Each structure stands twice: as C-alpha cells, then as structure tokens.
C-alpha cells in the first residue's frame, strides 16, 4: 500500500510540475513564433510595398519605410513615410477612401497587439498614437483599376507637428 501511495504521489507531483511549466510558458510576455505563421520577407521593403499598392511617395517624403509579410491567408504590405501635411493629404485623396478620414481613438499600447506590427519597421502602432485619423479603401469596390489586385488598404495619417504628417498604409 505504501508503495502505491508513493508512486501515486510522484506521478501527481510530476503532472502538477508539467502543468505549472506549461502555464508559465503560456503566460510569459514574450510572443512565441508559430511555425507556418506570418513571416517577414527578407529584402522586401518600401519599394515592393509601393509597387504592390501602386503608389509613389510624395517628392518631399522622408523616413520612408516598408515591409512585406507572408501571412496565414494573405501577404500584407506596409509602407510609411513623413511628408508635408498638404502633400500627405493629396496622397491620401488619390487612394479614394470610401469615407472621410475619422479620428482614431488611441488604444492602450501596453495591451494592443496586432499580427502585422509596425514595430517591425521601428514605428509605433498608429492605433496607439495621438492625432491619428483613419479610413479604409476597397479598390475593387470603388472600381479603381490602378489597384485591381489590391483587396484592401487601411490608411492612417498622423499629425506630427511642424506642418508634417506621417502616413501609414497597410494593404493586402
């Protein structure tokens, strides 16, 4: 009887230890990579994103950054730049948003997560920033032949002061 009790206690102890280890792993703050999940494409950046979306950044644009991520179902293209506000507004108008840009209510940067993070480009998430307006575009819906292969474009434009704005585009 003692042997069975001792064996049962050891098995139960091992099971509890394993569950605690799994629990600690699941609750850690570091994101875990999933095999077959989204992956950034090496060597593809702003030129490839601009080419896919069929846009040219304004002549006065600076801090141009971009990336391409192969995901579960779609490939996502990110491009961001800063430009004089008037140039940024003209650029956005050419995308033909389906609705007027609306104010974005900033989300908590400590809890906000996304599958395609702008942090990959060294930028904050526009959804967490102040003075951001947003809209979306469905090029096939508005019959924009220039972008017939683009299914969706999410637009963010942030007033960064001194007559300049940061534009963020996410497309697939």
Number of H-type helices and E-type strands within the chain: 3, 7
In the structure encoding, which two tokens stand for residue 166, read together? 């940061």
Q: How far does the chain reach from its first CA to its final CA, in angstroms? A: 65
What is the rounded distance in angstroms from the CA atom of residue 169 to the CA atom of residue 155?
Answer: 5
pLDDT string in tens for the chain (172-residue length): 555 555 455 444 544 444 444 444 444 343 334 455 789 999 999 999 999 999 999 999 999 999 999 988 899 999 999 999 999 999 999 999 989 999 999 999 999 998 889 999 999 999 999 999 999 999 999 999 999 999 999 999 999 999 999 999 999 9
In the structure encoding, which two tokens stand for residue 66, read together? 């971009």
- Per-residue pLDDT at 73: 86
Q: DSSP of 20-77, one letter per residue?
A: HHHHHHHH-SSPPPPTTS-EEEEEEEHHHHHHHHT----TT-EEEEEEEEE-SS-EEE
**Is residue 57 within 8 Å of 83, Cβ to Cβ?**
yes
Rounded to two decimals, the pTM is 0.77
Residue 39: in which H helix or E strand, if any?
strand 39-45
**Is residue 156 within 8 Å of 128, Cβ to Cβ?**
no
What is the rounded distance in angstroms from the CA atom of residue 120 to the CA atom of residue 129?
Answer: 16
- Per-residue pLDDT at 115: 84
What is the rounded distance in angstroms from the CA atom of residue 8 to the CA atom of residue 34?
Answer: 35
Q: How many residues does the chain have?
A: 172
- Per-residue pLDDT at 42: 96
Q: Which of 110, 97, 160 is nearest to 130 (CA)?
A: 160
């Amino acid at each position: 009887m003692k042997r069975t009790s001792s064996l049962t206690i050891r098995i139960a102890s091992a099971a509890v230890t394993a569950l605690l280890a799994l629990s600690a792993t699941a609750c850690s703050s570091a994101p875990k990579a999933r095999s077959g999940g989204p992956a950034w494409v090496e060597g593809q950046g702003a030129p490839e994103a601009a080419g896919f979306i069929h846009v040219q950044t304004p002549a006065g644009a600076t801090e141009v950054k971009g990336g391409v991520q192969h995901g579960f179902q779609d490939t996502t293209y990110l491009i961001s730049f800063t430009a004089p506000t008037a140039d940024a507004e003209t650029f956005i108008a050419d995308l033909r948003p389906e609705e007027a840009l609306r104010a974005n209510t900033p989300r908590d940067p400590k809890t906000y997560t996304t599958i395609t993070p702008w942090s990959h480009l060294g930028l904050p998430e526009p959804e967490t920033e102040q003075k951001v307006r947003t809209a979306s575009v469905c090029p096939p819906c508005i019959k924009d032949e220039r972008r017939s292969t683009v299914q969706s474009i999410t637009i963010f434009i942030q007033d960064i002061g001194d007559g300049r704005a940061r534009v963020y585009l996410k497309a697939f």
